[in-house]
Each structure stands twice: as structure tokens, then as C-alpha cells.
Amino acid sequence: MCRRQALLPASAIINSTKNTAVISCRFSLKEFDTGVELELSLIWNFVRNSEFELQVIAMGSGQWSVEQRTPLRTEPLVSEYEPETGCLSIIVLGASGDLAKKKTFPALFHLYRQGFIQSQDVHIFGYARTKISDDDLRDRIRGYLTPCKGCERSHEEDVSQFLQLIKYVSGAYDTEEGFRSLDKEISEYELSKNSTQGSSRRLFYLALPPSVYPPVCKMIKSYCMNKSDLGGWTRIVVEKPFGRDLESAEELSAQIGELFDEPQIYRIDHYLGKELVQNLMVLRFANRFFLPLWNRDNISNIQIVFREDFGTEGRGGYFDQYGIIRDIIQNHLLQVLCLVAMEKPVSLKPEHVRDEKVKVLQSVLPIEDSEVVLGQYEGYTDDPTVPDNSNTPTFATIVLRIHNERWEGVPFIIKAGKALNSRKAEIRVQFKDVPGDIYKSKKQGRNEFVIRLQPSEAMYMKLTVKQPGLEMNTVQSELDLSYGQRYQQTIIPEAYERLILDTIRGDQQHFVRRDELKAAWEIFTPLLHRIDRGEVKSVPYTPGSRGPEGADKLAEKAGFVQTHGYIWIPPTL
């Protein structure tokens, strides 16, 4: 039986503040068949930077019904972080360089825009050798400060207010004069805020090449430290690459370690700040159905893939000093492997998490040359800054094997390359074949759990289902969580935003500890030295291809089964 109803608008009220907007609408709903009239009140509560709540209140026949629905139900973790007092000085060394203007300053702007750093508590100092004024630096940065989603109207005002927080100091990286001038500017700011000596906070971000880390750290230690310990602190953030091999990394760690304690040092790897990478531990340890599956009994192989569809693009000379293994695999992809393979930590305290990551690295077996395929795209040496006889790989597929109870016999296939046919970074967990396959679906492909890190962040489970229709046919499909569709109103922060906020809060969970860095270099240094000596050659491959043919053959030999005829397509809104 169909009911005849009419929805009659009655009133609408809008109340708003800086952070919230509440829209209240009242309706009358009349059923002509029964004569019952209900009054509905719809209340939308929009909270800045989060999705809305919808509350429905129905009244009629003397009965009340209240239902509250929240698209995103979150359970915040109990955080040990307590907001600190005392003014905060953020010093960006290398302020006139590309990294600072493209990554560091935009990350600071978005933290400011979202209220995580307050104008009354923070000042930002740029330091570099270039002789420019405060306004010159601000003009260089301005074009890289893009608006947040939904904040376009106030963007210009936000940018202007943020840029006024920035002051520039020019000086050399290895002389006393420049750093005394920097300390003078910082101290004057701290005094202007009536900060008690020793209670202020100083964060030094080294957006610099590693070759100048030792002299810069020495100057900071000698002339720019917080003067005493009354609740304040001095911290330094250093960027990759942390050396070229085990020996150089240990030498660099020793030089910095002589000047600063480990809790003061934040070795940043921006992959650890990516949303889907930070989700790995939650997926593994907060979901019951993953716990019994995540082991060698069920998983055939795991691929961790990084692909770019462009070459070195004018950075050939720099890239040739490092290659794809030092640039991508030894740091970014190895950090992802740790989170995929680690055991559950005792707690979420940074040291407990990093302890488990170190155990994984120490369990990795030596790399066999037979499980390595290197490539160099044709045209790479056309760059005048690259030697004609360069053996530097722009592509690598490496099989890593972890010798422990959970992962014995499961190959971790690590792939990274430039000038390929697509751009993506993902983790692909491939499960073993179904025993006793009564549907004969083995030829269609295995079950896979895929975590797409970039672009189009998503998680999807590839599985076999019945094809709709009268026939009993099976087909590959997916259970899909695509972030662009599910979290339309949520602003997903950039990796640098999250990691800089962690440094301010003193949370080192997503930063690389010294023994972790050492263990990572111990895995790759023997192979890298063989490549440098020309004992392992890079084979040419065509730009825009999948890479060297031997890479797919190596993955197949390791146990990976390619699915043909199935392509995951990100859902459209």
C-alpha cells in the first residue's frame, strides 16, 4: 500500500560562529490517509575541518524519537601530549631553497591556517646565504601557499597574516657571525613575548644538503641553543639522504650525536607522514579479521611499489650521485616494509613502535644478486650533468626475505622506477590460492589486499564473486574504500604538515632512530658497493614502459601471479 504524504516547510534558522555553523529547519509531514501530522526538525551542525552531524527529531501522537547520525564516528586515542607554554621559534635553514619554499613553508602555513600554530605563540625565521630582505623571502614563498579546501574566501587574508610571522636572516652555514645574528633575532622575539629564559622552544629545520649538517649543527649547538632547561627545548629536523652507505651514515650520525641527544634529533622521512602509511598499524592491529591472515600461512607475497612516469627532469647530476635505491628504496619503501611486517608493539609509545621496526630490519637476510634487476631508461645519459658511462639505476626490483616465524618463505618484492608507464605508490598483499577450488576460479587471479598510497588514496580487497545473471559464472571484483569518495569533506593533510606538528609535540614515532638507520644501511650497503664497482649492471629500458622485462620475470619467479583482464578503477563521485 502506498502512503500519500506531503512535506510542508515551516521555518529555517541559521546560526554561525567562526568554527561552526548550525542550520535548523522545521517541516510538517502530513499523511492524508491517516490524518497523522508529524513535525520534523533537521539540524545540521557543521564543524570547521570535519564532516557534519545530522540530527532528526520527529514528534507526533505524543511520542518522541531522536536519531543522531554521524558520517565519521571517531574514537580519539588518549594522547600523552600536553599543550606546552612558552613561545615557539621555528627556524628554517636553507630558507631560499626549493625544499623550503615548496614543502616546509607551505606545511607551516597549513598548520597555521588550521590553528595548530598560533600567531601569538610562534615566529618563523628563515636563514640562508642568499642576501635578500624579509619581503623578498615572503614574495618567493607566497605563490606556493595554496588555499585549503573550503577556505578560498579567506585565503589572501590568511596568507598575509602568515607571511608577517616570517623574518629573514642572512649568513654562512659555518661561521659564528651569522648564527650569532640569528640567535639575537630569536632572543629579541622571545623577550618581546615576555618569555622566561629557558622556557622557550626552538625548532631548527635543516632544509639543506647532508654535507652541511655537521657544521650547521655545530653552530646551532654553540650559539643558538635554548639557554637553560626550564621546560623549553631545542630540536633539530634533518632531511634524507642520511649518508650514501653504512660508513657515511654512521659518520654523520656520530657527528650529530656528539652535539645533540637522540630525543632532540628528528630524522624526517616524509613517507611516514602519508595518510595511508599512518593507517597501516591501525589496519593491522585494530581489525580482528586481519590478525589470523597476516602471516606466511595465508600470504604468498607482498609487493611494495613506487612508480613515476617522468625522468630526472634536470636533476640528473644530483640523482646520479644516489640512484633509485638510495633515493627511494633504502628509506621510503623500507619504512613501509617495516610497518607491514612488524609485530604488534607493547604500546603506541614511540620507542615501543621503533623497537619493533628495528627487529624487522635486523631479520632481513642478505640480498642475493639473482634476486635483483636493475634498469636505466634510454636517454638518461643525454643529460649533460650525467656521465656517459653511468651505471646508476633509475629502476630496481629487489626481493627481500625476512627470517622470522611470521614471514619465513614470503618474498617482499620491492619495486621503484622512473620514466615508467604510470605514476603510483602502493602495497599489494597477494594471498595464496584457495585450496580445493570447486569453482575453478584460480585462473581469474588470487585474492589481493591493495593499499594505494598515491595518487587517489584507497584501500581495496580484490576477491572472486558470482557474476550477476542466471549462469553460475565467477568474476573478479573488489570491496573498495576510496578516500576521495568516502571522505569528501575531510582535508587529508600533507605528510610534511603531520611530521612538523609531531616535532613540535615531541612525538618521534614517525621518525627514524639511529639504530634503525644503521640496520637499514646494513641491508643495502653490500649491494650498493657492488653496483658502484660495476659488478651488477643496469639494463636499458624504454621510457613509458613497465621497466626491464627481467623485473616481471623476477616477480613471477618469486611467486607473484599476475591478474589478467582485471583493472581497478577509482570510483567517481
Active site residues: 332
Q: Round to whole Å and give the CA distance between 391 and 212.
A: 27
Nearest alpha carbon to residue 202 among 84, 319, 318: 84
Structure-block grid coordinates of residue 333? 619503501
Angle, helix 134-142 to helix 155-163, in steps of 10 degrees: 150
Which one-letter amino acid corresponds to residue 573? L
Residues 6+ apart with CB under 8 A from 556: 562
Q: Compute CA distances 23 → 14, 53, 58, 113, 211, whole Å.
A: 5, 11, 17, 25, 57
Q: How many CA atoms lie within 13 A of 104 on its CB side?
A: 28
Q: Compute CA distances 196 → 42, 179, 199, whole Å.
A: 51, 22, 5
> H or E stretch including 459?
strand 458-466
Q: Round to whole Å and give the CA distance between 374 and 394.
A: 8
Structure-block grid coordinates of residue 232? 623549553
Nearest alpha carbon to residue 156 among 148, 288, 510: 148
Q: Round to whole Å and give the CA distance between 61 and 285.
A: 48
**DSSP code of residue 252:** H
Strand partners, 191: none
